[in-house]
Each structure stands twice: as C-alpha cells, then as structure tokens.
Amino acid sequence: MSEGSVEIKELVKTYTDDRGRPTFTAVKNINLHIEDGEFMVLVGPSGCGKSTTLRMVAGLEKITSGTISIGERVVNELEPKDRGIAMVFQNYALYPHMTIFNNMAFGLQLAKKKKDFISDTVGRTSKALGLDHMLERKPHALSGGQRQRVALGRAIVRSPKVFLFDEPLSNLDAKMRVQMRSEISKLHAQLGNTMIYVTHDQVEAMTMGDRICVMRDGLIMQVADPLTLYRQPENLFVAGFIGSPPMNLLKGKVQKRDGGIFFAENAEKNALNIQLKGKLEPLAGKYVDKDIIFGIRPEHLSDEVKDPAHVPVTSTVEIAEPMGSESLVYLKGGSGNLIARIHGEHLFHLGEQVTVQLNLDKVSLFDAATESVIR
Amino acid sequence: MNAEQKVLVRKVCAHAFVIGFLILVLVPFVMVISASLRQGDFAPSRLLPDKVSLDHWKFVLGIPYQEVVNPATGETRMVKAGTPPLLWFWNSIKISLVSSAGIILLSSTAAYAFARLRFKFRTTTLGALLILQMFPMVLSLVAFYVILDFTGQHLRLIGLNTQLGLIMVYLGGISNYIWMIKGYFETIPASMEESARIDGASQFQTFIRILLPMSLPIFAVVFILSFISYMSEYPVASVVLQSSDNWTLAVGANSFLYEQEKLWGRFAALAVLSGVPITVVFLLCQRFVIGGLTSGGVKE
C-alpha cells in the first residue's frame, strides 16, 4: 500500500513582495518520489530550499506551481490538518501556557475527540517516550531533550501518514543530539511511517536516511542511498558535501605522454602529477588537454599499501590533527592542502616529510566545466 | 582621599541625587493633596495646610455641609453640589474602561493582521498609521464636533453630548497601540501558530487559544496606558460632552475654575480622586506584566 508515499512533481516556489511582484525563487522545479515507509533526508547548505520544500509538503507555504501528492492524493489545496501529516519543528514550538498533556492533546481536543480517547492516546504515547510522569508540567520546566520528545509525542498522537522533521536536532547539544538521533531512528523502525527529515548536517543525513536528497540553490543535486552518494557522487557539489573531512578536489589537465594518460594539477609548486591507470584511463582519455577535477577522499590517501592500485605521493605536513586512533594530516599541495587520513597513533610534526598511498580505484574525475562526474 | 572614602562620597552623592529627584516628584503630589485638605481656596506659600478642612472632600463626595457665608454675621448655608462629582467619577470610569477594552479588541486584531497576514498595501498602511499617530487627537476637534453632530441627527445614541459618542472618538486613537502589539506579536515565533495550524486550529482559534494567552503582558500594558490617558483626557471630552451630568472627571474639575474664583480645593480633591482608579488598574494589571511568558515554548 502506498498510502504514505509522497510524490513531488515539478515543484516551484517563488516568493513575492506585498504587491505581488516576484522577488526570489527558492525551489526551482524539483521532482522527487518518496516511497511509503521510507526515511528520506533532505540535506544541503543554508538557503538551498530544503525547508521550503518541507513546508510546502506540510501546507505551510503556498505552492507556486507543480503538485505534491501524499498517498496518491494531490494535496496542493488541502489545509495542513487534512493532509495526514505531523511536523516536528527546530525550536520545538510547544505552547508555553499549556501543560505537557494539553500540548499533546491540543490537536485531538480541536477535533472534538472523546475525553477517554484523548487521555488514552496521550497516555500511551507519553509512556513510550518516557514523559508520563511530567504531564502536568509546563514546557519551561523541562530540559531541551525532554521538550523535543514532547514535540515528537505531539506529532505521534496525530497518527499521521507522513512525519516531517525540520532540523529538529540543531538546537541540542552534541550528546543529546546523538541520543535523539537513535531515538528517531528507533521510532521509524517501530512505527514504519514515511519520514521526511530536513538537516544541514551531512553526518545526520548519512546515519539516519534510507535515501538522501542533496539540494543546492533550489535544485536537486542527487538522490541516492548514503553509500552510493559516498562512492558515486554524480557531481562536484555532492562529492564535496558528503564526507567529513571533504573530498580533496584538485583542478588540472589531462595530458597524453609517454604512452600513458596523466593528470597534471594546475599549480606552480607541489603540483600533483599522476598516471591514470585502470578504469580511469578510458575515462580521462576523453578529456585529453581539457580541464578536469581530480577527486580523492582523505580516507583513500593513507599509509597502508594494499594493492598495485596505490600510487605514492610525498609531501610535507602543514597541519596535523591527531584524533586518537588516526590523524588528519594536511599536506602541502598545489593549491591548498591535500588532506590525508592516516591510521595509527603516530604524532605528525610541522614540516615532516610524509609519503601517502593514493588509491587510484577510489578516484573520481569531474568535468571542470559542467561539474558532473566523468563516467 | 583613599578608595573607601571615594566609595562613600559616591554613595552619598547618589543618594542625595535620588532623594532630591524624589522630592521634586513628590512635592506637586503633596501640594495637590494639601490643597484638597486646606480650608478655603487660597494657595499660600506653606506646603502643608495650617487649617485642615474636609469641606472640599465633603463636596466632592456629595455630603452636604455648612459653609460660613458672612464671617461678620456668622450666617451659614448648606452647600451641596448641583451635579454630584461622584457622577463624573463614575462617567470617567465607565468611559475609560469601555474605551480601553475596545482599544484592546480592535488593536489586537489589527496588529495580528499586520504581523501575520500578507496583503496589498500592508507596508503602506503601516507607514500611514505611523505618521498619523504623530498628530495629537486634539487637532481633529472640529472634525469630531461636526461628525458627531451629523451622526447625532440620525442616531441619538452616538451623537454630540453622548458618552457613547465620546467612546467612538476615543477608539480612533489605536494606531499607537497597534504598533505596540504588532511589535510584541512579532517576537512570538510563527512556528507556534504553524504547529497549531497543523493541529487543526483555524486562524481565529489560533489567535484566541495560542496567541492571546501568550500576549497578556502587552495587553496589560496597553490597558494601563489607554486607561490613564482616557481618565485624564480633557480637550475632546470637553467638546463632546456638554451637559454636566455627562461630564468626565477632567471636565468637571475644570468647571470649578471660574474666571473670578478658582476653586482649587475642589479641583484638587477631584484630581486626587481620579488617581484612585488608575492606581487600582495598575495594581490589578501588574501581575500580567511578567516577562518570560513565552519561555519554554521555543528554543531561543
């Protein structure tokens, strides 16, 4: 049954001023299909249109053009309460003058449900969230994490088809964030509802999502499961956005010489010059004498040699960040630093000469002009 | 001078300044009270009355008393007010209460529209309100007279010399309060109302059940401010209200200041009387003016 599936077709949102003149287009024609029961994460930098998209699904923003369907029913003209959705806000949005019980029961009270039903439903939900002993308190007497749980409870009580989360963990401290992350994931496993989750934190996206939709400037850059986004980014933006620390992206040209294909970085000093072997050869072969971008993740610039696909790169250390079990080493590169992730507890010093092994199998090449991956 | 002495000097100076300021504020207050308790209407150089008399207060409260007409013969007569000043007191309270309540009703709904809704000419209207509020109500006295005269011909209830007519005029001074309440509404995050909307509340229900309970502080402030201003308002009331049983306290008090004989005693007593409801309203509304009414609702 696809009752909780969400279909976004050619969605556009343009803001207008008081006189009706268009000022800014936040969402520039996106198409997205979310399966019933899926945990879809919308991720991207500030201003990319992810919150706007979520609010249009909720019904809090008017749709300029395009359609949104929930469970195969077009909901463009429906009020939020009739769409079968529930939303958890970034700043909790609890009613401060009401008790926790009334906060959770408000929706049911408005729908004129019977008192027994209300106290039953709220009781069950609050018990599951560990809030049943504080139902008579007001929000200001609760901690941040407890307030967020009340917000969750309020959403659950509505028995929605789709849960919408608008950066719910951004206001919590790091420890609470990790705890709530797993609670939300557990909730998804328990309830099985479709959940659309907006965040700017790519770690949250990677750990929680069944699929991730990376957005930028009102457009969708790529939609895929976390591992695919990591391994096979379709464009430069996704490659640089997913993964922390970010992928090393070197600008350079493809040269054909000495019977092989080489990548030559555009730099005067410390330029990387590597022969592209294996599956990279035919890909780069299409771009001889053209500009490309060479991408390699820090974790694939290591000191372990596994197979002949590794190429040594030697440079000096500029910054070293020891993390305990491994170190993030910033090596002097052609333009900026080459970040490498080296295992072990060795302490690196400024100016130290280090040789890292670059794993050619994990290299991604991008067209410098179109910014899309070269396949 | 060492550090300790410096601190002492500073303390003394600060206290002296504050006490001096207090005296400056309290002296007129004491003057008015003593004028109401002084026998006769002559204002001598002494602050406190040497001859205390309750005649003025008896007059104001409608208690008849004996007054010496001819000091030579000792002839006395009973003095009683033509129109009891207590009636003016009651008129003032009535008009101020109803106007303040009406102000809150009208300005809160208007402020909600300006703060939350988007419509054509919204910013223009707001700007116009801002500019209009700079002109005191008194400038439109002639206009009020003419308008009320006209409406009075068709509907007796809101014509000239009616209290309802005066209330209608007072309700026009809402632009200041709209700005105040709008500013307050804008500090309340919209996500609360959005949450209520998702819960199924209509715009009106959201206004009544979510926004209003959270806005009690600003409503208390608006009520206090408008109540005070209407209790002490003179120009418009004196033009609109003509017969003495319709007068407010301010107009009635002014009626004692005849050209030849200014009855300061009665005037002062009425002035003190007008302070009583204001103080009561202040005390009652104080507990609503508490900060942090939105605390806990959102993460700031």
- Closest CA relative to residue A370, chosen from A272, A289, A291: A291
Supply the pLDDT for residue A70: 93
Chain B CB contacts of A59 under 8 Å are 198
Supply the pLDDT for residue B300: 44
Q: Which of A244-258, B66-80, B86-100 has the lowest mean pLDDT?
A: B66-80
* Token pair listed for A340: 């490498």
Triad B117, B121, B122: Cα angle to 5° = 35
Question: Do residue A60 and residue B192 have CB atoms under 8 angstroms apart?
Answer: no
Question: Domain for residue A272, yes or no?
Answer: yes
Q: Quote the CA–CA distance of B100 and B96 in Å, as a whole number.
A: 6
Average pLDDT over residues B111-140: 87
Triad B43, B44, B50: Cα angle to 5° = 105
**Higher pLDDT pick, A141 / B44:** A141
**B218 and B267 together in one domain:** yes
**B195 and B92 together in one domain:** yes
**A115 and A161 together in one domain:** yes
Domain final position from B58, B79, B100:
B79
Does pLDDT of B297 surpass 60? no
Q: Quote the CA–CA distance of B230 and B216 in Å, as a whole number.
A: 21
Does pLDDT of A267 surpass 90? no
Question: Do residue A107 and residue B199 have CB atoms under 8 angstroms apart?
Answer: yes
Question: Domain for residue A226, yes or no?
Answer: yes
Q: Count the domains in chain A.
A: 2
Provide the shortest C-alpha distance from residue A60 to chain B (in Å): 7
Which chain B residue has its CA at the smallest distance from A60's CA? B194
**A249 and A186 together in one domain:** no
**A227 and A339 together in one domain:** no
Question: Domain for residue A374, yes or no?
Answer: no
Question: Domain for residue A278, yes or no?
Answer: yes
Supply the pLDDT for residue B292: 47
Supply the pLDDT for residue B40: 76
Average pLDDT over residues A129-141: 90
**B102 and B72 together in one domain:** no
Ramachandran angles phi, psi of B291, nearest 5°: -75, 170
Q: Count the domains in chain B.
A: 2
- Residue A236's pLDDT band (boundaries 50, 70, 90)? very high
State how beta strands A85-88 and A162-166 pair. parallel
Supply the pLDDT for residue A202: 87
Supply the pLDDT for residue B257: 84
Average pLDDT over residues B230-253: 89
**Which positions 92-151 of B are in contact with A (Cβ < 8 Å)?**
118-123
Question: Domain for residue B36, yes or no?
Answer: yes
Domain final position from A233, A254, A285:
A233
A345-367 tens-digit pLDDT: 888 888 888 888 888 888 999 99
Does pLDDT of B205 surpass 60? yes
CATH number, domain with residue B93? 1.10.3720.10
Tell me the C-alpha to C-alpha distance, in Å, between residue B271 and each of A277, B31, B36, B253.
99, 11, 9, 7
Does B189 lie at the interface with A, CB-CB under 8 angstroms? Answer: yes
Supply the pLDDT for residue B290: 65
Domain final position from A204, A233, A262:
A233
Supply the pLDDT for residue B70: 73
A287-330 tens-digit pLDDT: 888 899 999 999 888 887 767 778 888 888 889 998 888 889 89
Chain A CB contacts of B210 under 8 Å are 95
CATH number, domain with residue A289? 2.40.50.140
Domain final position from A186, A203, A233:
A233
**B141 and B251 together in one domain:** yes
Chain B CB contacts of A171 under 8 Å are 299
Question: What residue numbers bound the domain in which A111 lies?
Answer: 6-233
Report CA torsion sign: B40, B44, B48, B49.
Answer: negative
Question: Do residue B298 and residue A92 have CB atoms under 8 angstroms apart?
Answer: yes
Does B194 lie at the interface with A, CB-CB under 8 angstroms? Answer: yes
Average pLDDT over residues A4-27: 87
Question: Domain for residue B122, yes or no?
Answer: yes
B34-55 tens-digit pLDDT: 888 888 777 677 777 777 888 8
Does B213 lie at the interface with A, CB-CB under 8 angstroms? Answer: yes
**A180 and A258 together in one domain:** no
Compute the CA torsion angle A217, A223, A226, A232 (nearest 10 deg): -90
User: Which of the given ranges, A225-234, B42-51, B77-86, has the highest pLDDT on average?
Assistant: A225-234
Average pLDDT over residues A142-167: 91
Supply the pLDDT for residue A17: 77
Which chain B residue has its CA at the smallest distance from A142's CA? B296
Chain B CB contacts of A87 under 8 Å are 194-195, 198
| Percent of chain A at pLDDT exceeding 70 | 99
- Residue B24's pLDDT band (boundaries 50, 70, 90)? very high
Contact A27, A36 (CB under 8 A): no
Question: Domain for residue A239, yes or no?
Answer: no
Does pLDDT of A100 surpass 90? yes
- DSSP code of residue B51: S
Tell me the C-alpha to C-alpha distance, in Å, between residue B139 and each of B133, B135, B233, B236.
11, 7, 14, 10
**B279 and B250 together in one domain:** yes
**A216 and A186 together in one domain:** yes
B1-13 tens-digit pLDDT: 688 889 999 999 9
Does pLDDT of B119 surpass 90? no
**A220 and A361 together in one domain:** no
Contact A355, A314 (CB under 8 A): yes
Q: Is B273 helix (H, G, I), strand (E, B) or coil?
A: helix
Chain B CB contacts of A176 under 8 Å are none
Chain mean position to CA B114:
26
**B27 and B109 together in one domain:** no
**A168 and A298 together in one domain:** no
Chain mean position to CA A42:
6
Does pLDDT of B83 surpass 80? no
**B105 and B252 together in one domain:** yes
Tell me the C-alpha to C-alpha distance, in Å, between residue A131 and each of A90, A169, A181.
20, 18, 18
Measure CB to CB from residue B299 to each of A87, A107, A144 and give the nearest one.
A144
**B53 and B93 together in one domain:** no
Question: Domain for residue A210, yes or no?
Answer: yes
Contact A317, A329 (CB under 8 A): yes
**A229 and A287 together in one domain:** no
Question: Domain for residue B294, yes or no?
Answer: no
Residue of B117, B187, B197, B198 to mutate, testing the A interface (most A Cβ within 10 Å of its Cβ): B198
Triad B13, B16, B20: Cα angle to 5° = 140
Question: Domain for residue B214, yes or no?
Answer: yes
Average pLDDT over residues A135-155: 90
**Higher pLDDT pick, A229 / A346:** A229
- DSSP code of residue A142: S
**B190 and B236 together in one domain:** yes
**B149 and B231 together in one domain:** yes
**A49 and A151 together in one domain:** yes
- DSSP code of residue A80: G
| Average pLDDT value for chain B | 86
Question: Do residue A138 and residue B296 have CB atoms under 8 angstroms apart?
Answer: yes
Could you count the other beta carbons within 10 Å of the beta carbon of residue A181? 18
**A208 and A306 together in one domain:** no
**B11 and B98 together in one domain:** no
Provide the shortest C-alpha distance from residue B264 to chain A (in Å): 50
Is the pTM higher than 0.90? The answer reads no
**A33 and A151 together in one domain:** yes
Does B291 lie at the interface with A, CB-CB under 8 angstroms? Answer: no
CATH number, domain with residue A109? 3.40.50.300
**B195 and B258 together in one domain:** yes
Q: Quote the CA–CA distance of A339 and A321 in Å, as a whole number.
A: 10
Does pLDDT of A233 surpass 80? yes
Does pLDDT of A235 surpass 50? yes
Tell me the C-alpha to C-alpha distance, in Å, between residue A142 and each of A93, A136, A152, B295.
13, 11, 14, 11
Q: Quote the CA–CA distance of B201 and B26 in Å, as a whole number.
A: 52
Chain mean position to CA A89:
17
Supply the pLDDT for residue A50: 93
**Higher pLDDT pick, B15 / A315:** B15
Question: Domain for residue B58, yes or no?
Answer: yes
**A251 and A226 together in one domain:** no
Domain final position from B54, B79, B104:
B79
Domain final position from B23, B50, B79:
B79
Question: What residue numbers bound the domain in which B143 lies?
Answer: 85-286
Q: What is the DSSP string of B130-171?
A: HHHTTS-GGGGHHHHHHHHHHHHHH-GGGSTT-HHHHHHHHT
Question: Domain for residue A240, yes or no?
Answer: no
Measure CB to CB from residue B198 to each of A19, A85, A95 and give the nearest one.
A85
Supply the pLDDT for residue B294: 53
B171-186 tens-digit pLDDT: 988 888 999 999 999 9
Question: Domain for residue A375, yes or no?
Answer: no
B248-291 tens-digit pLDDT: 988 888 888 888 888 888 888 888 988 899 999 988 888 777 65
Count contacts between A and B (CB, < 8 Å): 94
